[in-house]
Structure formats: structure tokens, C-alpha cells
Amino acid sequence: MTNPSIHVTPEHPRIDEAIYITIVGCQPNQELTLRALLKDDANEQFTSWATFRASESGEISLAQNAPESGSYQSIDQAGIIWSMTHHTKANGHYFTKTTAEPLKVTLRLEANHQTINETAVAISFYTDRVIKREMRSNGAVGTLYQPIDQTATQNVMLLAGSDGGRLEHAATMLAAKGYNVLDLAYFNQDGVPNNLENIPLEYFQGAIQVFKEMTENEEKISVIGYSRGAELALLLASTYDQFNAVIAGAPGAYVTSGLKNSIYAPIQSWTLADKAIPYLKFTYRPSVMFSFFRQWMVKKPASFLGIWESSLKAPAKNEAARIKVENIKAPVLLLTGGDDQVWPAAHFAKLMKNKLPQLEWKHYEQAGHFLSFPYALPNMPANLNEHVGGRMTMQFGGTAEANALAAADSLPHIFNFLESSSVKEGVNQ
């Protein structure tokens, strides 16, 4: 009699490929539990589990069978991966991914609480198809990723969010699809300011020129920004006619205040011609702050939506801080979640759609803040909350399933938008 065993196809999967997990050699109707274990780039342990009942033929397919119990409930071949949560923190934690090192997932099969089979799978980011070069020129700091055959004809710049972090994994994956990709640093990295404060827009204009020189491509570039990076992408495109496509994930419609030590502070984020760009001032109602601190005291995830609701009550007062998207000449794609708890991205998208009717808007009603490239990718754990110090947990919104489905669905839309914008730009020139 053979023991049940785990089979993974393909044997060496890529991050955006469908991964099929089957369990064979089971007894008919045998109950088995599959566990997955994975460490993120901060060496934090994430886990998931699902208990299945084998078919009469002694097989279990995650693409065809729903678990009877576990960290996810639906039929989903990737459910065992996106449903991973931090193994000790009650409210989960942020899955950190900044490098292109493979996701090393351990799959463990249990019967009667005993491990009977185990296998490992490394989910890669196409590093074998990409070369990278550091950018350190005229004050610009970043990393350039290119297809190994160097046949790319379109330049794409990535702008990180409020973490200011590196996006090596996302940049590598995108470069493997045939793009020159610049992961540009602008704060919180070596060689650039520690805080998001008084960052000149001219810095980005200069970096774009260096990008063009390094790739020997003087055509307009595409820009993809997320959260605060989306705010920046829209602001740049409304200021400079340098872009052939703008993709903004979980975007803001206003210039918001700067960050000190990753915390909002009453300081300006951006400058232009040595003058501060006006930013939206927060309004802190006592009831909102009471609710916020109550969540903090009981160790529950806290939402920032109440602060935004208070601060957006006077549109005329905030007009100076509104990003003038109507000035953008390039095609624009917005990606939003209806349960975004960081800021009201869907409300912002509606406002921008009214100002720029031709923009494209992809909305996922059940998803939260982290729903698309470059922060949410297929075959990665979904992010719902983050412990930010002490008793405080920040709520991002959505469900693991909704965020994962949005990440998988939005990725081909992003690729198609980049491709179609490039074709349109070529026709227009």
C-alpha cells in the first residue's frame, strides 16, 4: 500500500503561473490536512492549512476540491498560498517582499496529526531572464532591470508607496515580460532622504532622463505607482508631459502630507521650483480619535477612514491640494478596492473620473488596499493588517480571498494597458 504524497505542477513555477497541487495515493474518503509554511523577506513565518477528504479514487486536487475546513473555504488552486497568515500574531501581519529571491514554500501532509509526506516548492521571479544595473547618476538613485536579450522597447518606472521600499521582485517579473524597468528610490533608502519631506519633482524629471540615456530610448515612459507612489505618479503626469501611460494602484486624488519615521506629519511631501506643493490638512474629530485609540487599546486593527472622512468634508477648501488629473495627457488606469481602509481610494477614483472621463477604472468591491501589482501578486500571501509597533495594528481592508482574486485578475489588465498605450503612442508619433 502506497502512502499519500504531494505533487506540484509545474515543478519550478513562476510567480504568475498557475500552480496545481494534487495529493495521490490516499485511501478512499481518507481525511488529510495540508499545511503550507513560508518565510518572508523579514524572516517572519507565515502558515496556512486545509483539511480535505479524498475521493473514491484516492486523490485530492486543490483545483477541484474545496477543503472541509482550514484557512480558506473555496475551490482555489492557490488558496493554500494566499491564505497564509503570520503564525503567532492574532491579527496577522504584513508579508514583506522586496527582493527577487524565490518564495520557498514547504508543503506538509498530515494524517491523524502526524506528518506523512513533505515537499518544497520554490516560486521564482524570472531572475534567470533579467539583468540589472544600478543607477547612480546626477543624483538619481535606483535599479534598472532589463530582459537578458535587451530587446525591450518600452521604459516603465515603478514608484513604491509609503514604505519607500525596493520593488525588486515586481521589477524583475515585469522586465521578464519585455520591459526596461526602473525601480526608482525617492526616500527611505540609501542615497535619498530618510523621510518623505520636501522631495523635488525635478528629481524625478532628472531620473527619467538618466533612465532614457541608460536604455538609449528617448520615447516617453510609462509609470506605475502604488498608494503614495500612485499619488506621486498622478502628480508627475499632471505636471510633466513625459509619459505614455500612468497606472495608479490604490490611488489618492490629493497631495497628502509628508512622513517622518513612516508616520504622517504636518510637513509638505513635494516641492516644485523650490516651492512647497500644497497638501491636504487632516482634521481630527474627537469621536474619530476616540475610536482609533479604543482599537489601539484592545489590540484590534485600526482604520484610517474616519480621519479621511473628516478631512474631506470641505472640497473647496482642499482644492489647492487636489491633483489636477485633467492636465494628464497620457492614458490613465486606476485600480481600487471597495474596502480600502487606508484611504478612500474608490471615492478618489470617482472624483478623478469626473475630472478626466477618459481614464480607465478597474474596481474590486470586496478588496482592500493591497490588491494589485506591484504590491500584490498571484501566488503570494494576501495582506490585510500590519503591526506597526506597540499595541497598534493598521488595517488595510478586504479579505484574503478578495485581495488575491483582485491581484490575479488585475495583472493581465495592467500588462494589456501597458501594451495598448505603447501601441497608441507609437501611432501618435
Q: Distance (Å, rounded) from C-alpha 198 to C-alpha 258?
A: 8
C-alpha cell at 369: 488596499
Q: Distance (Å, rounded) from C-alpha 101 to C-alpha 94?
A: 18
Q: What is the pLDDT of residue 99?
A: 97
DSSP bridge partners of 33: 51, 110
Residues sharing a CB contact under 8 Å with residue 385, sequence separation 6 or more, in sequence order: 91, 92, 93, 94, 301, 393, 394, 395, 396
Q: Distance (Å, rounded) from C-alpha 247 to C-alpha 181?
A: 14
C-alpha cell at 159: 514608484
C-alpha cell at 377: 501578486
Query: Residue 298: pLDDT above 80?
Result: no
Lowest mean pLDDT segment, chosen from 150-164, 226-240, 286-300, 388-402: 286-300
Query: Are 21 and 8 spatial neighbours (Cβ–Cβ below 8 Å)?
Result: yes
Residue with cell 490588491: 371
Burial class of residue 25 (count of CB atoms within 10 Å of its CB; 0-12, 13-18, 19+): middle
DSSP string, 125-168: --GGGEEEEEEEETTEEEEEEEETT-----EEEEE--TT----H
Q: What is the pLDDT of residue 427?
A: 36
How remote is the C-alpha of 218 from its chain's centroid? 28
pLDDT band at 14 (very low <50, low <70, confident <90, very high): very high
Query: CA 143, 145, 147: angle at the middle one, nearest 5?
Result: 170
Q: Distance (Å, rounded) from C-alpha 49 to C-alpha 423?
A: 45
Q: Distance (Å, rounded) from C-alpha 337 to C-alpha 363?
A: 6
pLDDT band at 62 (very low <50, low <70, confident <90, very high): very high
87-98 residue pLDDT tens = 898 778 899 999
Residue with cell 475521493: 55
Domains within the chain, CATH numbers bracketed: 5-123 (2.60.40.2240), 127-428 (3.40.50.1820)
358-386 residue pLDDT tens = 999 999 999 999 999 999 999 999 999 88
C-alpha cell at 36: 503550507
Q: What is the SS3 assignment for 231? A: helix
In this prediction the pTM is 0.94
C-alpha cell at 367: 478588496
Average pLDDT, the chain: 93
How remote is the C-alpha of 420 from its chain's centroid? 22
pLDDT band at 329 (very low <50, low <70, confident <90, very high): very high
Q: Distance (Å, rounded) from C-alpha 274 to C-alpha 111?
A: 66
DSSP string, 29-44: T-EEEEEEEEE-TT--
pLDDT band at 287 (very low <50, low <70, confident <90, very high): confident
